[in-house]
Amino acid sequence: MKRGFTLIELLVVIAIIAVLAAILFPVFATARGKARQTVCTSNLRQIGLALQMYAQDYDGMVPFAKDASDAYVPQIWSPVPACQAQLAIMPFLHPSPDPTQVGTILPGAMDAYVNSKDIWRCPGDAGFDILDNNYSCDGPCPLPARPTMFKKYGASYLFRTELAFRRANIDSFEGFDMQSQSAVGPAGVNFLFDGNGSWHGSSFAVGRSGLRYNVLYLDGHAKSASYDQYQRAWATDLGPVGSSLCTD
């Protein structure tokens, strides 16, 4: 006579399956996240190549353009009123939906150098509600980006617009690393980066240390940067006070 499984045996098997699932699911999730991050970085490298072509045609200058945070949270430039005033006439860096006319796409400054609009989309883009690295609004600045930043604004990335205001030249531009107290060339200056650090961050890290950003630097190279590396790039002084085109 065949003997069936006992209740204890079934419970042991179920427990083993549950343990294996608990081990494997995070591994699969990590692998998927790494794949999304790789594609995201690849997209930034392609934008970097487009930037180099743009600069060749414009004597080394970066595009005089803005991003979604400049357009929809202009108060971040309130300490520099002359720059804030210019935002209204600046084009977007990338194609962007026109908020005043449904279905209309506003052209981007780099359109002639970027073959596909999808290059501006990071596969890890899960949207967000606030700018996670800007506290110019008496706290975190709100910028609703749902369901994704790409869907809402046409790009998953933000732009260091100060480079445009300073008329930065990628062939000769130098910043100043406040930490090492030394000059930094284009390879150390952030040009474009993920709109939010949680898309590729670690859920096991504590606080903001778990944030991670894909970053395109002014020389055209791109990499995944830790929160500290990202902050160090932001801390690079792009020029002496008063050198901005907006205040000349």
pLDDT higher than threshold 70 for residue 205: no
Q: Which runs of consecutive H residues, i.e. helices, occur in 94-165?
A: 149-153, 162-165
Res 41: pLDDT: 94
pLDDT in tens, 138-186: 888 999 999 999 999 999 999 999 999 998 899 888 888 888 888 888 9
Res 246: pLDDT: 80
- Segments forming the whole domain that contains residue 28: 7-247
Q: What is the mean pLDDT of the chain?
A: 86
Residue 141: other Cβ atoms inside 10 A: 18
Domain-located, residue 152: yes
| Domain tally, the chain | 1
* Angle at alpha carbon of residue 159, lines to 153 and 115, rounded to 5°: 65
Res 54: pLDDT: 97
Domain-located, residue 2: no
Domain-located, residue 1: no
Domain-located, residue 156: yes
Residues 230 and 190: beta-carbon distance below 8 Å: yes
- As a whole-number percent, the residues of the chain with pLDDT over 90 amount to 59
Q: What is the mean pLDDT of residues 229-236?
A: 92
Spatial CB neighbours of 21, under 8 Å, sequence gap ≥ 6: none
Tell me the whole-structure pTM to 2 decimals: 0.83
pLDDT higher than threshold 60 for residue 24: no
Res 45: pLDDT: 96
- As a whole-number percent, the residues of the chain with pLDDT over 70 amount to 85
Query: What is the helix (H) or strand (E) element at residue 142, kind and residue range?
Result: strand 142-145
Residue type at position 4: G
Domain-located, residue 121: yes
Domain-located, residue 56: yes
Res 33: pLDDT: 62
Model confidence at 241, in pLDDT bands (50, 70, 90)? very low
Q: Which of 166, 164, 152, 167 is nearest to 121 (CA)?
A: 152
3-state secondary structure (DSSP) of residue 27: helix
* Angle at alpha carbon of residue 146, lines to 145 and 147, rounded to 5°: 140
